[in-house]
Amino acid sequence: MLKNSEFVRLLAYNPPMSVPHLSLIIPAFNEEARLQDSLNKLAAFLSEQSYRSEVLIVENGSDDRSFEIAQAFCKDHPSFFVKHLDGRGKGLAVKWGMLAAKGAYRMMMDADLSMPADQINRFIPPQLEGKDISIASREAKGAVRYDEPAFRHIGGRIMNLLIRLLAIPNLQDTQCGFKCFRAEVAEDLFLNQKLNGWSFDVELLYIARLRGYSIAELPIPWYYSEQSHINPITDSVSMIADLFTIRRNARLGNYGKAN
């Protein structure tokens, strides 16, 4: 397990001369089938923007060619960088990326681009001002889900109800993989993150509420992928256990002082 100081020191690339407006962090676990296409779409979108950006692809735990595909792509795209980590867990990958990033705004996003890249600017200034954190929501008014099986939707709503009851009231969708943080907020939250599995973003939002950070929940168009790595049964059981771990950590003061 890497210590927080090591996250800060172990950069995956030579940082740009000036601070990027936006850093995008993509955890990549067994993404061989769709990573190339997603990176092509992302590069095309970013090439049309007026602001500086960087993309950090963090691969950990894969047993396919995800890392090699990312490496080859980065050779031809100077603002894209890749890092391999030995430890497993989506939370570990995102934490590393967020703390290595240099952007004034730092956004985590799923490798499948289940939210289209053209939605990214809605999460950062100038389109969104005055928020510490902005999160994509498949449940906020105006959101549209495409091709999602009914059983997955129902299961997700049951899990969100438990999350609202046990941890974070009022947020309708804490599990969508697209979340953006101001740099100072990202460094505060991710340095206090304890969980490295699927529940890490619930923990981050829980700490954010303790800190009094402002959160915007933005409706998005979202496309279901049959290649999802989530196991509805085992991951749900793990999530419930993690909710109690989060509450215990807060009770023990493991998240530091609230604002």
Q: What is the pLDDT of residues 129-147, one digit of tens each?
A: 999 999 999 999 999 999 8
Kindly compute the dihedral angle of the four CA atoms of residues 57, 60, 63, 67, in this order, to the nearest 10 degrees: 30
Q: Does 258 map to a domain?
A: no
Residue 218 DSSP code: E
CA distances from 112 to 3, 34, 75 (A): 29, 6, 21
How many angstroms separate the CA atoms of 177 and 173, rounded?
10
Average of pLDDT values for 139-165? 88
How many angstroms separate the CA atoms of 113 and 69, rounded?
16
Q: Does 48 map to a domain?
A: yes
Q: Does 147 map to a domain?
A: yes
Tally of domains within the chain: 1
Structure tokens given for 173: 């969708």
pLDDT of residue 5 exceeding 70: no
Pick from 65, 64, 68: nearest CA to 82 = 68
pLDDT of residue 13: 44
Rg of the chain over all Cα atoms, to the nearest angstrom = 17
The pairing of strands 80-85 and 53-60 is parallel
Helix segments in 88-149, DSSP class H: 90-100
Percent of the chain scoring above 90 in pLDDT: 76
How many angstroms separate the CA atoms of 160 and 41, rounded?
30
How many angstroms separate the CA atoms of 239 and 197, rounded?
9
For residue 46, what is the domain's CATH number?
A: 3.90.550.10
How many angstroms separate the CA atoms of 70 and 84, rounded?
10
How many angstroms separate the CA atoms of 190 and 44, rounded?
29
Q: Does 159 map to a domain?
A: yes
30: left (phi over 0), alpha (psi -120 to 50) or beta: left
What residues form DSSP beta bridges with 83?
58
Q: Does 66 map to a domain?
A: yes
Q: Does 257 map to a domain?
A: no
pLDDT of residue 226: 73
Q: Which of 20-29, 162-171, 215-224 has the lowest mean pLDDT?
A: 162-171
Q: What is the pLDDT of residues 194-212, one digit of tens each?
A: 999 889 999 999 999 999 9
pLDDT of residue 156: 83
Q: Does 259 map to a domain?
A: no
Residue 126 sits at the vertex; the CA angle it makes with 124 and 127, to the nearest 5 degrees, is 70
Give me the domain span that covers residue 214. 4-251
Q: What is the pLDDT of residues 10-57, one digit of tens each?
A: 444 444 457 999 999 999 999 999 999 999 999 999 999 999 999 999
- Each residue of 179-204: b (16+ CB within 10 Å) or e? bbbbbebbbbbbebbebbbbbbbbbb
How many angstroms separate the CA atoms of 141 and 217, rounded?
10
Q: Does 217 map to a domain?
A: yes
